[in-house]
């Protein structure tokens, strides 16, 4: 889940290479609104869309699919986006970051969610925020933004009354809130492991624990830089972000801090559980060893004695194994055995083994 995307060393900067495996044609959608009106539509070329853009309204252009390099170039030209930023849109292994350009922001964010099949997915969201437009690029058309679209259509909440900055907030907020269910599932899995470990450490709990640790590592990588982005936005003084929206962004910042806090706590917990696993194993091994040792130490010498009296020395020789002929030999044998066992049990008790 640590993606490494790179171009051969020495490639000229801002070389655009279509994302491998991406659909060649992107889906282009425009939502254009102000407090009173809303227009929504799909386009096949950017040229068509460009004619519809209206600087008096908020224009949200969403591109799904990163396979069409020509389209990206057109968009970059129209919105005066730096070629390096467009390169970062294509290179989807970016670390979340924010970059300031003359009249717009460029934000790379990481979306973390369970896809329809329940598999955890990390996906890059690239977002450009200008005075009257928001440009978003995704590879897969996730449904995280559907509720935002619904709010825009319904004119519910603040959504329609405010500018492009608020739209950007709403989209980023949706990506942040997606992480909570993922965290919840990690939390559940940690709790299960905890119970298993104290009861009986097994290989499967070890695997689950390691999975959780790994997942937390990836979530952490995505969350810390996210925090920097919001921190940067709520301190913004370029005028792109309104005062009112900054209060909402502060809420996003809080959520990210909370997410990081939970991740770090979970990391601490998993580290503690790893220790617990090793200690539990050590304890069990010790206990097993103790039983083995007690039984072996008790019986091995006895077996030797029994072996001795099973030897076939020629008893016609007077000094050979006279014990075997004694009237009470067998009773003596048992008496000896029992006293040996008793002595050993006392020894074990002194050692606190039983």
Least spacing, CB of residue 45 vs its own copies, in Å: 27
Q: Binding string, 315-344, against its own copies, x = CB under 8 A?
A: --xxxxx--xxxxxxxx-x-----------
From the list 4-12, 18-26, 47-55, 69-77, the region that binds its own copies by CB under 8 A is 4-12
Residue pair 237/243 in contact (Cβ under 8 Å)? The answer is: no
As measured in angstroms, the least distance from the Cβ of 108 to its own copies is 10
Give the shortest CB-250-to-its own copies separation in angstroms: 7
Query: Nearest approach, Cβ of 44 to its own copies (angstroms)?
Result: 27
- CB 184: neighbour CB atoms within 10 A? 11
Ranges within 259-318 binding its own copies (CB under 8 A): 261-262, 265-266, 268-269, 272, 274-293, 295-297, 299-304, 306-314, 317-318
Q: Which of residues 85-104 bind its own copies (CB under 8 A)?
A: 87-88, 93-95, 97, 99
Q: Please choose, out of 46-54, 57-65, 70-78, 203-211, the segment that lies near its own copies by the rule CB under 8 A.
A: 203-211
When the beta carbons of 120 and 206 are compared against its own copies, the nearer one is 206
Q: Which of residues 155-174 bind its own copies (CB under 8 A)?
A: 156-159, 170, 173-174
**Whose Cβ is closer to its own copies: residue 236's or residue 251's?**
251
Which of 56/300 has CB closer to its own copies?
300
Nearer Cβ to its own copies (26/262): 262
Size of interface with its own copies, in residues (CB under 8 A)? 125
For residues 204 to 233, the per-residue mask of contacts with its own copies, x marking binding by CB under 8 A and - elsewhere, is --xx--x--xx--xx--x------------
Whole-angstrom Cα Rg for the chain: 36
Instruction: Write down the least CB distance from residue 225 to its own copies, Å.
Output: 8
> What are the C-alpha distances in Å from 221 to residues 17, 48, 243, 263, 295?
25, 39, 29, 10, 52
Site stretch for its own copies (CB under 8 A), options 34-42, 49-57, 62-70, 139-147: 139-147
Comparing CA positions, the residue from 219, 216, 215, 196 lying closest to residue 206 is 196
Nearer to its own copies, 56 or 311 (CB): 311
Distances (CA, A) of 137 to 41, 194, 281: 16, 41, 49
* Pair 30, 59: CB distance under 8 Å: yes
Could you say which of 75, 86, 201, 223 contacts its own copies (CB under 8 A)? 201
What distance in Å separates the CA atoms of residue 170 and residue 117, rounded to the nearest whole number?
Answer: 26
Toward its own copies, which CB reaches closer, 78 or 208? 208
What angle in degrees, to the nearest 10, is found between the helix axes of 243-308 and 164-177? Answer: 10
Take residue 224 and report the two structure tokens written for it.
């810390």
What is the DSSP pairing of strand 97-100 with strand 38-43? unpaired
The yes or no reply on residue 345 touching its own copies (CB under 8 A) is no
From the number of C-beta atoms within 10 Å of its C-beta (0-12, 13-18, 19+), residue 63 rates as buried
Q: Which long-range contacts (CB under 8 A, 24 or more apart) does 137-143 make?
A: 137/63, 137/66, 137/89, 138/62, 138/63, 138/64, 138/111, 139/19, 139/22, 139/64, 139/65, 139/66, 139/92, 140/64, 141/27, 141/64, 142/111, 142/113, 142/115
Q: Does 82 bind its own copies (CB under 8 A)?
A: yes
Q: Please give the residues from 21 up to 80 whose contact with its own copies meets the rule CB under 8 A.
A: none
Asked if residue 198 binds its own copies (CB under 8 A), the reply is yes
30 φ/ψ angles, rounded to the nearest 5 degrees: -120, 130
233's tokens: 């936005």
Distance in Å, CB of 56 to its own copies, minimum: 25
Would you list the DSSP string of 133-161? Answer: EEEEEESS--STTHHHHHHHHHT-SSGGG
Least Cβ distance, residue 298 to its own copies (angstroms): 8
């Amino acid at each position: 889940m640590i993606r490494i995307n790179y171009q051969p060393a020495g490639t000229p900067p801002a070389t655009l290479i279509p994302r491998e495996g991406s659909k060649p044609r992107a889906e282009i959608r425009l939502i254009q609104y102000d407090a009173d009106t809303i227009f929504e539509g799909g386009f096949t070329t950017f040229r068509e869309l460009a004619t519809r853009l209206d600087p008096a309204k908020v224009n949200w252009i969403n591109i799904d699919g990163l396979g069409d390099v020509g389209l990206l170039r057109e968009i970059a030209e129209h919105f005066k986006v730096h070629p390096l930023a467009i390169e970062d849109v294509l290179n989807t292994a970016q670390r979340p970051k924010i970059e300031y350009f003359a009249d717009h922001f460029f934000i790379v964010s990481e979306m973390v969610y369970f896809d329809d099949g329940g598999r955890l997915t990390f996906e890059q969201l690239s977002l450009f925020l200008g005075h009257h437009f928001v440009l978003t690029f995704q590879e897969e058309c996730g449904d995280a933004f559907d509720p935002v679209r619904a709010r825009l259509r319904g004119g519910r909440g603040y959504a329609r009354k405010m500018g492009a900055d608020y739209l950007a907030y709403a989209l980023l907020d949706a990506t942040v809130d997606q992480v909570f269910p993922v965290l919840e599932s990690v939390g559940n899995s940690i709790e299960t492991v905890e119970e298993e470990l104290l009861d009986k450490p097994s290989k499967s709990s070890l695997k689950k624990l390691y999975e959780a640790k790994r997942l937390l590592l990836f979530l952490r990588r995505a969350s810390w830089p996210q925090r920097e982005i919001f921190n940067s936005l709520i301190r913004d003084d370029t005028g792109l972000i309104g005062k009112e929206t900054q209060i909402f962004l502060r809420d996003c910042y809080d959520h990210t801090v909370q997410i990081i806090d939970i991740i770090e706590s979970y990391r601490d917990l998993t580290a503690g559980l790893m220790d617990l696993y090793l200690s539990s194993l050590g304890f069990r091994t010790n206990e097993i060893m103790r039983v083995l040792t007690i039984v072996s130490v008790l019986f091995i010498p006895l077996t030797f004695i029994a072996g001795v009296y099973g030897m076939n020395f020629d008893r016609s020789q007077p000094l050979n194994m006279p014990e075997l002929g004694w009237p009470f030999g067998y009773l003596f044998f048992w008496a000896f055995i029992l006293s040996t066992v008793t002595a050993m049990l006392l020894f074990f008790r002194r050692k606190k083994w039983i």
